[in-house]
């Protein structure tokens, strides 16, 4: 079939082929091809989704592991810093206490040369009050006394540590830190005893008993000064 198309006032003759309907076989091949392409696209899309999901899960797992590692690292760092500060504070309190005792020892010669026993009693009475006041304002004193007493009775299997009821609450709050400070594999049990001086302790084990109390240390110094005077 022939037809004429007029464009720009110029006639061009074009041959138009007649439309031929595809055969059933050709239609079937076209449909089959489209189905294959659709299945292929579906498989590719599914693979992409699985890859994305797997990558997402892996990223979540790595993020969770990293967060957990950071938390553990921060916890260890905080525990280390706390332990260091606690030990530093205990050492400072111990040093202050020992400095006070040394100052008392230095007063011996002056006090007893003048034979003023009443003055000696007054001085020690004042010192007792100072120590008692320091114990109230610095409750960690009991930790220093505990460590000092514990150093004399190590390697026991079981320990019973008696402390003043007020100090017991302090020990209870820092029980784990106290056990780390003592560095023992034995069983440690803390009990209240109102007869124990504040800031002091009594350690009982199968190896014997040790009393570590500020007042008793002060009494020993007083007796030594009196005997040497």
Other CB atoms within 10 A of residue 90 CB: 20
Does the pLDDT of residue 1 top 50, yes or no? no
CA nearest to 89, candidates 131, 140, 134, 135: 140
pLDDT in tens, 158-170: 888 888 888 888 8
At 33, the pLDDT band (50, 70, 90 cuts) reads confident
Look at residue 192 in the predicted model and tell me its pLDDT: 92
Q: CB-based contacts of 124: which residues, under 8 Å, 6+ apart?
A: 104, 218, 222
**Rounded to an integer, what distance in angstroms lies between the CA atom of residue 153 and that of residue 80?**
27
What distance in Å separates the CA atoms of residue 6 and residue 85, rounded to the nearest whole number?
100
Q: What is the mean pLDDT of residues 122-132?
A: 57
Q: How confident is the model at residue 222 (pLDDT cuts 50, 70, 90)?
A: low
Across 85-100, average pLDDT: 76
Which of 4-8, 87-91, 221-225 has the highest mean predicted lDDT (pLDDT)?
Answer: 87-91
**Averaged over 172-184, what is the pLDDT?**
77
Cα angle for residues 95, 196, 212 (degrees, 5° grid): 40
Q: Which fold has domain 73-228?
A: hypothetical protein PF0899 fold (3.30.2320)
Q: Per-residue confidence at 2, pLDDT binned at 50, 70, 90?
A: very low
- Domain borders along the chain are 73-228
Return the closest-CA partner of residue 225 out of 47, 103, 71. 103
Alpha helices in the chain (DSSP H): 24-113, 117-137, 141-150, 165-173, 175-182, 214-228
Sign (positive/negative) of CA torsion 44, 46, 47, 52? Answer: positive
Is pLDDT larger for residue 65 or for residue 137?
65
Summarize pLDDT for 145-157 with one digit per residue, the tens. Answer: 777 777 777 777 8
């Amino acid at each position: 079939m022939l037809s004429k198309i007029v464009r720009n006032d110029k006639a061009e003759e074009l041959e138009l082929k007649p439309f031929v309907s595809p055969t059933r076989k050709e239609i079937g091949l076209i449909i089959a091809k489209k189905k294959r392409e659709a299945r292929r696209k579906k498989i590719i899309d599914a693979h992409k989704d699985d890859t994305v999901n797997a990558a997402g899960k892996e990223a979540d797992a790595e993020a969770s592991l990293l967060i957990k590692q950071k938390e553990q690292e921060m916890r260890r760092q905080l525990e280390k810093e706390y332990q260091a500060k606690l030990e530093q504070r205990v050492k400072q309190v111990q040093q202050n206490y020992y400095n006070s005792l040394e100052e008392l020892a230095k007063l011996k010669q002056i006090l007893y040369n003048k034979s003023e026993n009443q003055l000696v009693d007054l001085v020690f009475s004042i010192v007792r009050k100072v120590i008692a006041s320091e114990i109230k304002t610095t409750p960690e004193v009991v930790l220093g006394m505990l460590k000092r007493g514990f150093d004399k009775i190590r390697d026991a299997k079981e320990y019973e540590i008696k402390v003043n009821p007020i100090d017991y609450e302090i020990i209870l709050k820092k029980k784990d830190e106290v056990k780390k400070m003592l560095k023992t594999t034995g069983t440690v049990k803390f009990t209240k005893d109102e007869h124990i001086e504040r800031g002091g302790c009594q350690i009982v084990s199968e190896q014997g008993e040790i009393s570590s109390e500020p007042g008793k240390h002060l009494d020993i110094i007083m007796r030594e000064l009196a005997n040497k005077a």
